[in-house]
C-alpha cells in the first residue's frame, strides 16, 4: 500500500522553474486577450475554407451536425485544461501537468508532441498566407508559383516570429486586429448569405433546417463494431467526418500556454480555453449552415476552399475580397499564435531540466522566451522550405500526421487530469462530473481518434498524395519518425544528467490544491511506494 508525504516548497523543480518564476511578463493579458489568442490560434476562417468541403462530401447536409459533434471531445478536454491549470498554472501545460500526474517520461513526450505539432502546422499556415496574399492582389499566377509562395510564406514566419519576440502585449494587440478582420468578414458573409436565401433570390439555394443539426441519418451514425474498432481501418461517413472536423478545433489551448503572462494565472486561462471552444463551435455551425443554404451541397463537396467557391456569389467580386482577407488573416494570426505554445513549452522544459538550459533564456527587455522564439522561427522556415523542395506531396501528407500529435497530447492532458485528481473525485458531484467524468470521456474519445487515425492513415490510399513509404501511408511514417527523433532526444537529455527532473516522482494534489485554494508548487503530495 502506498503512502503519501508532504513535499517541501518548490519540490520537484529547480529554482525559477515553477509557475510564475521563469521571467515572463506576468499580468500582461486579461480574459479577453487570452480568449482572442485561443480563438485566433485555431484559424477558424482557414479551417472552414479547407475542411468544410470534405465534411460536406461525406455528411451532406449534416455537416453542421458533424461540426458540433466534433466540439464535444474538445469541450470535455477543455475542462481538463481548466482544472489542471488551476492546480499548476505553468506555461508548459501538458508537459508540466503530465509530469506531475504520471511522471517525467510521459510528461516529456507530451511536451514533445506539442512542439512537433506546432512546427508541422507552421508550413501549412505560411503557405496559405503566401497564396492568399497574392490572391488578394489578383496575382493568380504568383499564387500558383511554388517558389514565390514559399518566399512570401517564409517572410510571414519571420515577421510573426519578430512580433512574438518583442512582447506578449504586442502579440495580443496584433491578434485583436487580425481576428477582428476575420470575424467581421465571416459575419458579413454569413448574414448576407442567409438574408439572400431568406428572400429567395438565389438559384439553387436551400432553406436552412434544424434537421441539419441532428446527426441521425448520417451514414454510419449507427456504427458497426468494425467502424468503432480503433484497430480497424474501416470507416463510415460519420467516422470520416469526425476525423476531419475534430482537428479544426485544435489551437484553443494556446490560451492556456500564456498563463504565466495572464492576470489570475490559475483561473483566467482555463476560462478562456472553455470560452474559445464555445465561440468556435458557434462560428463553425453558423457558417457551415450559411454556406450550404446558399449553394446547396453538390457544388461544394470535396472543394479544398469552399469560401472561394461561394464568396463572389454571396458578396460580389469586390466584397468577396473580404473572404480572402478572412483566410489570410486567419492563417497569419494562427501562424503567430502557434509560436506562443511552442516557445513556452520549450521554456518550461528547459527551466525544469527536461531540455537544454539554452532554451530557458528570457529576453530582458521584452520578457519573452528569446532563444526558443528564434529557434521556432528558424525550424519553421527550414521545415517549410525543406518540404517544399523535397516534395509538395510530402508537405500535404505531413499535415495529416499533425492530427496524430494533436490527439496524442490532448488525450494525454485529459487522462492526466483524471489521474492527478483521482483521490478527490468522490468529493461531491462537481468533482465527479467536471474533474472526472468529462475529462475521462474526452480522453476516451481522443484516444480512439488517435488509434483510429493511425490505422486509417496507414493505408496509402488515405493519404493526400496516395504515395507509399515503407508499405505505409506517409502520414504514419512522418509521425513515427518524429516520435523516434523524440526518443533519441529524450535519451540524450536524460544522459546529460541535467538537474533532478528525470528523478521526479508522480504527484498527488493536496486537499488545498484540489479545492483550488493553492497551486501545486509548494503544496503538493508526492506518491511513494
Q: What is the pLDDT of residues 283-304, one digit of tens each?
A: 999 999 999 999 888 888 878 7
What pLDDT sits at residue 221?
A: 61
What pLDDT sits at residue 237?
A: 62
Contact 452, 97 (CB under 8 A): no
Average pLDDT across the chain, whole number: 86
Phi-psi region of 526 (alpha: psi -120 to 50; beta: other; left: phi over 0): beta
Query: DSSP 3-state assignment of 21?
Result: coil
**Percentage of the chain exceeding pLDDT 70:** 89
What pLDDT sits at residue 20?
A: 64
What is the average pLDDT across 183-212? 90
Task: Report the candidate in 2, 10, 51, 79 with the shortest Cα–Cα distance to residue 524.
Answer: 10
Note the residue count of the chain: 529
What pLDDT sits at residue 9?
A: 33
- Which CA distances in Å does 116 have to 177, 394, 412, 422? 28, 16, 15, 30
DSSP per residue, 137-195: TT-HHHHT-HHHHHHHHHHHHHHHHHHHHT-HHHHHHHHHHHHHHHHHHHHHHHHHHHH
What pLDDT sits at residue 248?
A: 87
| pTM > 0.95 | no
What is the average pLDDT across 32-57? 89
Task: Give the separation between CA 304 and CA 297, rounded to whole angstroms.
Answer: 14
pLDDT tens per residue, range 145-175: 999 999 999 999 999 999 999 988 888 888 8
**Percentage of the chain exceeding pLDDT 90:** 51
Side-chain-facing half-sphere of 197: CA atoms under 13 Å: 21
Task: Give the separation between CA 397 and CA 395, rounded to whole angstroms.
Answer: 6
Residue 528 has pLDDT above 80, yes or no: no
Lowest mean per-residue pLDDT among 8-22, 102-116, 427-441, 507-521: 8-22
* Confidence label for 523 from pLDDT (cuts 50, 70 and 90): very low
Phi then psi for residue 38, to 5 deg, are -65, -45
Residue 342 has pLDDT above 50, yes or no: yes
What pLDDT sits at residue 278?
A: 94
Residue 6 has pLDDT above 50, yes or no: no
Q: Where are the beta strands (DSSP E) in 301-359?
A: none
Lowest mean per-residue pLDDT among 191-195, 386-390, 405-409: 386-390
Amino acid at each position: 500500500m502506498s503512502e503519501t508525504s508532504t513535499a517541501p516548497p518548490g519540490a520537484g523543480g529547480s529554482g525559477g522553474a515553477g509557475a510564475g518564476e521563469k521571467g515572463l511578463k506576468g499580468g500582461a493579458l486579461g480574459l479577453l486577450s487570452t480568449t482572442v489568442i485561443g480563438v485566433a490560434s485555431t484559424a477558424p476562417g482557414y479551417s472552414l475554407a479547407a475542411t468544410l468541403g470534405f465534411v460536406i462530401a461525406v455528411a451532406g447536409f449534416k455537416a453542421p451536425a458533424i461540426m458540433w459533434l466534433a466540439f464535444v471531445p474538445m469541450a470535455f478536454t477543455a475542462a481538463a485544461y481548466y482544472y489542471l491549470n488551476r492546480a499548476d498554472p505553468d506555461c508548459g501545460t501538458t508537459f508540466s501537468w503530465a509530469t506531475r500526474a504520471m511522471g517525467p517520461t510521459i510528461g516529456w513526450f507530451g511536451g514533445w508532441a506539442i512542439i512537433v505539432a506546432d512546427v508541422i502546422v507552421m508550413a501549412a499556415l505560411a503557405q496559405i498566407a503566401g497564396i492568399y496574399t497574392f490572391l488578394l492582389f489578383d496575382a493568380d499566377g504568383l499564387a500558383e508559383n511554388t517558389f514565390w509562395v514559399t518566399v512570401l510564406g517564409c517572410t510571414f514566419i519571420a515577421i510573426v516570429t519578430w512580433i512574438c519576440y518583442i512582447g506578449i502585449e504586442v502579440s495580443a494587440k496584433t491578434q485583436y486586429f487580425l481576428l477582428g478582420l476575420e470575424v467581421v468578414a465571416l459575419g458579413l458573409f454569413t448574414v448576407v448569405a442567409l438574408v439572400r436565401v431568406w428572400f429567395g433570390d438565389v438559384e439553387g439555394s436551400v432553406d436552412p433546417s434544424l434537421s441539419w443539426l441532428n446527426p441521425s441519418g448520417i451514414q454510419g451514425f449507427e456504427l458497426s463494431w468494425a467502424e468503432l474498432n480503433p484497430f480497424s481501418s474501416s470507416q463510415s461517413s460519420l467516422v470520416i467526418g469526425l476525423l476531419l472536423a475534430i482537428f479544426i478545433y485544435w489551437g484553443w489551448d494556446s490560451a492556456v500556454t500564456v498563463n504565466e503572462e495572464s492576470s489570475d494565472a490559475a483561473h483566467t486561462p482555463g476560462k478562456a480555453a472553455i470560452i474559445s471552444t464555445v465561440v468556435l463551435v458557434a462560428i463553425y455551425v453558423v457558417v457551415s449552415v450559411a454556406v450550404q443554404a446558399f449553394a446547396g451541397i453538390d457544388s461544394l463537396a470535396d472543394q479544398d476552399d469552399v469560401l472561394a467557391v461561394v464568396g463572389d456569389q454571396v458578396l460580389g467580386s469586390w466584397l468577396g475580397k473580404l473572404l480572402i482577407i478572412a483566410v489570410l488573416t486567419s492563417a497569419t494570426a494562427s501562424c503567430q499564435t502557434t509560436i506562443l505554445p511552442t516557445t513556452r513549452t520549450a521554456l518550461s522544459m528547459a527551466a525544469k531540466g527536461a531540455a537544454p538550459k539554452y532554451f530557458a533564456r528570457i529576453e530582458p527587455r521584452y520578457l519573452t522566451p528569446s532563444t526558443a522564439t528564434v529557434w521556432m522561427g528558424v525550424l519553421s522556415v527550414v521545415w517549410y522550405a525543406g518540404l517544399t523542395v523535397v516534395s509538395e506531396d510530402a508537405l500535404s501528407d505531413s499535415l495529416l500526421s499533425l492530427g496524430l500529435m494533436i490527439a496524442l497530447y490532448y488525450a494525454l492532458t485529459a487522462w492526466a487530469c483524471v489521474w492527478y485528481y483521482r483521490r478527490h473525485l468522490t468529493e461531491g458531484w462537481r468533482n465527479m462530473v467536471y474533474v472526472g467524468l468529462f475529462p475521462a470521456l474526452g480522453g476516451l474519445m481522443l484516444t480512439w481518434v488517435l488509434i483510429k487515425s493511425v490505422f486509417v492513415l496507414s493505408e496509402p490510399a488515405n493519404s493526400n498524395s496516395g504515395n507509399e513509404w515503407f508499405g505505409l501511408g506517409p502520414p504514419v511514417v512522418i509521425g513515427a519518425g518524429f516520435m523516434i527523433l523524440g526518443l533519441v532526444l529524450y535519451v540524450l537529455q536524460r544522459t546529460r544528467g541535467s538537474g533532478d527532473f528525470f528523478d521526479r516522482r508522480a504527484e498527488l494534489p493536496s486537499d488545498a490544491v484540489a479545492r483550488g485554494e493553492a497551486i501545486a508548487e509548494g503544496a503538493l503530495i508526492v506518491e511513494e511506494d
